[in-house]
Structure 1
Amino acid sequence: MASSTVQPADQTRQPEREAARRLLESSAKLSYDPATEVDWDTPLDEDFHGMSPEWSTLYGTRYWQELTEAQRKELTRQESACVASTGIWFEMILQQMVLRDMYAKDPTDPRFQWALTEIADECRHSIMFGRGAAKLGAPAYRPGRFVRELGRAFKTLAVGEAAYASILVAEEVLDVMQRDWMRDERVVPFVRTINNIHVVEESRHMKFAREETRARLRGAGRLRRRAQALVVSIASYFIVTSMVSREVYEKAGLDVERALAEAKANEHYKSMMRSSCAGLMEFLASAGLLTRPAVAVYRRAHLI
């Protein structure tokens, strides 16, 4: 009798188990060691950008037109380092949420094994981003204290679809940016390698996050979906608005207040962010996580 009650629940997770098994196979075939794949030894070549210039927060503004080419390159190097540092901050949140979710679960389950594989990937990525930021000559950029404390609460309290959908948001936004940067010959070669590694390995993480988000929402009622949609949108807002800090402009030798004002009004950058999130918003809509209040938050963050 006991086995008959367990079996249906076991069957409902079978598609996620199969997906996790495929991800484990993919990881075994195609993964990288940044310690050996990235050229850490060659000195930084300041003739290169740190990211595709079109992704700079000041690209297309009057201030950008006034900058020398050397200043533009230094700015993009600092912005790239800051994005990497924000990535480290969220990857640490991600690791804790996934580890907490898998605590005391079946270690023979491919989902459990994939979750630990993902955490191992993220540990390597965080070290890689940290070394990359240091090589770009950047200080230790961090989100503001208020956002850091919100992150501390979120990693402790977020569960289920809120955790996995938020993970997906952070990964999707970075993915689109980095696909551009890794192909751009104007970008310093070691950063292109870092971006390529991250894009390849994060594609598996995004698949897992989508599968888990869908699975956690099975049978969820309207009230739960609306509440979780708002939580995800608020988390997304703070992730995206923390990607480039004011210290970037100071480190690049710019007029900080002017740079902040022009970045805030930069329609080109807002358009780039919206286009990068088109696929993400389509997924959130299909999952019932694109409610009217959530859309309002995404609009405020220029993600829709």
Structure 2
Amino acid sequence: MATHELTLNLKKTNIAPPVITVHQGDSAEVLKAAIYDGDKKAALTGCKVHLMAAKPDHTYVEQQFTGISDNVATVTVDPAVFGVAGLLKVCYVRVRNAAGLDATTENVLVNVLPSASASGEVSGPYVDAVEAIIANLEGQLADVSALNAQMQKAEASRASAENQRATNEKARQTAETKRAEAEKKRAAAESDRVTEVSQLKTASQAATAAANGAASNADAAANIALQIANSVAQGSAGSSDMAKQKQQIADLYGKLADATDAFIYDDGTVYCPASKASASGSTITFGSTCTASGTTLNLK
């Protein structure tokens, strides 16, 4: 690492150009240029100061001075600037500002000595602003690649979740089919029970008539009356159990409607979730998700 101190003039009054010598591939070489405008210090405040050069391989160099103090500009030269052995005959400092100033100093001769290692050569142009843009774009590309990877991972998770949802839905449909079949069997059993009750009632009525017509056999009439009473009692118990069962089913559907936040229809009855319907007297009010068209009510 070396610091090369230069005195340069925007009026280009130096008789002989300053000379600096470096080795090809040297890094951390510092240029410290004191810049004058004639016999006065150049006013560098608010200015952009750049090192401009043409390398021996005829490629272009532009690097901005990063330190400005009074009329002194300082920059750590990128190794690419001294990447080709030979004499940099065109090498100067350019000063610009927003007010329209665009001035240059005289040339600085830079003698780049060959490196003992071929790896020291860095050919091609070097513009620090372009390099910064490239580095920024490469960083953005890396961010985009990482984001794409995250999106692909999220999509895979979404697809897996969708497959699981479809599997769960199929299982739900199967369970619903079994429930419907069980409900059909329950309805058939209920129909059989009603038929049996009707038959028992008919038999009870026939037994009563027979008892009234057989007054001569009091014991037989008493036995028949007892059988009739027992049959009627059994029929009343069956009706009570049926009423309780229906009430339990209604309560279950009501809780299921609230839990799933969905309307449920069964056997002519619609069970409404509390979040979507309310009753006041004989008036039922439905939520905004329900719509009406003519005599048709869509419950959602």
Give the structure with the larger helix fraction.
1
Q: Normalized against structure 2, the TM-score is what?
A: 0.20
Name the larger-Rg structure. Answer: 2
Q: Which has the higher contact order (CA 8 A, sep 6+)?
A: 1
Q: Normalized against structure 1, the TM-score is what?
A: 0.20
Give the structure with the larger strand fraction.
2
